[in-house]
Amino acid sequence: MTGKRLTIRSDGASLGNPGPAAIGVVVEDESGRAVAEIWRRIGEATGNRAEYLALIAGLEQAAKFGAESVNLKLDSQLIVRQLKGEYKSRELKPLYEQALRLLKRFTFFTIEHVSSRDNRIAHALAKRALRRRY
């Protein structure tokens, strides 16, 4: 396999379900160095919607960087299971389909469920966005 390979760690946060919500994303190069951080409020959303919007933001950023392949490291078991075809949700179907369309931009991708501890930077970014006053 050749080409640029990036890792995406993403997280969504919501105060209530639904409630004020935010996303946090870290895009890492092959050495594990953060090359991009994304954190912003997304309005009112459920936690699952916030998780998907964080992933989508990460995939869009990786595509802008010209990545040929991506490693997804997500602490949302629901999204990991959906992307692997193990679980379906009518409510989240549009976001699931958007994520799949974005994944087709890459020649190769992996999806891995990680613990919250292994996703702490993305989690902290989402929480920072929630606390930020506009």
Span 103-124, pLDDT tens digits: 999 999 999 999 999 999 999 9
Span 11-70, pLDDT tens digits: 999 999 999 999 999 999 999 999 999 999 999 999 999 999 999 999 999 999 999 999
Residue-level pLDDT at 36: 98
DSSP H/E element including 74:
strand 69-74
**Domain 5-127, classified CATH 3.30.420.10, yes or no:** yes
In the sheet with 19-28, reading across from the earlier edge strand, the strands are 34-45, 19-28, 5-14, 69-74, 108-113
Give residue 82's Cα distance to chain centre. 13
Residue-level pLDDT at 11: 97
Tally of CA atoms within 13 A in the half-sphere of 14 that contains its CB: 18
Residue-level pLDDT at 132: 81
The single residue listed with the structure tokens 């992307």 is 83
Residue-level pLDDT at 134: 54
